[in-house]
Amino acid sequence: MKKYLSAVMIATLAIACSPKEEETTVDYTTLSDAERLEVAKKIAHETIMVDGHVDLPYRMKVGGFTIQREILDVSVRTDGGDFDFPRTKEGGLDAPFMSIYIPAGLQSIPGASKALADSLIMMTERLTTTFPDKFAMAYSPADIEANFEKGIISLPLGMENGSGLEDDIANVEYFYKRGIRYITLTHGTDNLIGDASYDTTSTYGGLSEFGEQVVTEMNRVGIMVDLSHVSDNTFRDALSVSKAPIIASHSSVRKFTPGFERNMSDELIQAMAKNGGVMMINFGGSFIDSAYATGTAKVREHLVNYMVENNMSRTDSAFEAYAAEYVASNNPFPTVQRVADHIDHVKDLVGVEYIGLGSDFDGVGDSLPTGLKDVSMYPNLIAELLKRGYTREEIEKICYKNVFRVWKDVEDYAASQK
């Protein structure tokens, strides 16, 4: 009797081939969901995966990280949060950019933003010295590739909020030497660099004069310019000043969230692509679907009314059971398919070469979509992309090749200035 290879076995064999050979060997869209997920897991573990934004350092600060691991130890599976070593390995994540997050409220206190940035960098470095078999710092694509070969999770650094530079242009080079490889120019409010998307003040109408100096200096030393969180005018101004490609480390498509300036309009996506940059898709519920906020508000209102009407508190076991059942039946969360919709839109608009992943894990609370609740679940997104006809080569571009291209271009430009 003849023995035939199952579709999943064929797909598994195809993964070992070159992308061109793979495409002629198997059509992933014909697999079952279960078979496709197995293929996705294999791709996730065989391919370098970069995530542009994970808020672990600030979570560790809030959670009380210590070398003695008394409170929060992400080398083992943790209760709560979206990131730890076991789940990272399960999901195939290799290089999460650690967000050195500076709350906008510190901007009014001289020296406070820089001090916090230094503290969070040191905290991240301690992870690598405390658990050197699990984590390592990474300051270049080459570092990530070397760590990947060793099976070690790379921890590149990005500063979220340029307020950490204070008012001193010399701090750009200072933070490059501290390991920062991108700086998000603004955050929740306008700062000395420029206007922020969440702030309606429009202090400068875009990038400030100091901000222009900052972008130029970032180009010179080799720090990627990150335009997540900036206003549209700041985005345009920064593109006109930057001599190297930019990134949006954790932004999504405004088409799906009309009026939400924090996301990128089609005009800005096209301008970013013309610049040669990369847009790294945010997974947060409010970033990927405008219906999420309305849905959660309705669920919250119902549960508050139910609690009052039945004279209950949030900690009553009966209320907790009812709430869990109600939320499950009236799920307000978007799904992994919605994240894929954003990727589809950017691909259709400008091409797959300008897309990356920027989850915002540990930074968007419990708003994450069904199927992408933590770092173990990247294969679910890969499986959905395979279902939609994406090739392995396209997925590799999204996972790391596109951001590596930008990063290397920024390095090359900086080298040319020396």
| Mean pLDDT computed over every residue of the chain | 91
The alpha carbon torsion through 392, 397, 401, 407 (nearest 10 deg) reads -170
State the pLDDT confidence band at 72, using cuts at 50, 70 and 90: confident
* Predicted confidence (pLDDT) at residue 1 exceeds the cutoff of 90: no
CA 170-175-179 angle, 5° bins: 150
- Mean pLDDT, range 102-128, rounded to an integer: 96
State the pLDDT confidence band at 398, using cuts at 50, 70 and 90: very high
* Predicted confidence (pLDDT) at residue 294 exceeds the cutoff of 80: no
- Mean pLDDT, range 72-89, rounded to an integer: 93
Quote the pLDDT of residue 71: 52
Fold of 48-289+334-416: TIM Barrel (3.20.20)
Model's pTM, two decimal places? 0.88
State the pLDDT confidence band at 119, using cuts at 50, 70 and 90: very high
* Predicted confidence (pLDDT) at residue 29 exceeds the cutoff of 90: yes
Percentage of the chain surpassing pLDDT 90? 78
Between 172 and 312, where is the model more confident? 172
Structure tokens given for 59: 């979570």
* Predicted confidence (pLDDT) at residue 76 exceeds the cutoff of 60: yes
Asked if 380 contacts 37 with a C-beta cutoff of 8 angstroms, the reply is: yes
- Mean pLDDT, range 241-270, rounded to an integer: 97
Closest to 342 measured CA to CA, from 225, 229, 215, 252:
252
State the pLDDT confidence band at 5, using cuts at 50, 70 and 90: very low
Domain boundaries, the chain: 48-289+334-416
Quote the pLDDT of residue 22: 52
The alpha carbon torsion through 220, 225, 230, 234 (nearest 10 deg) reads 40
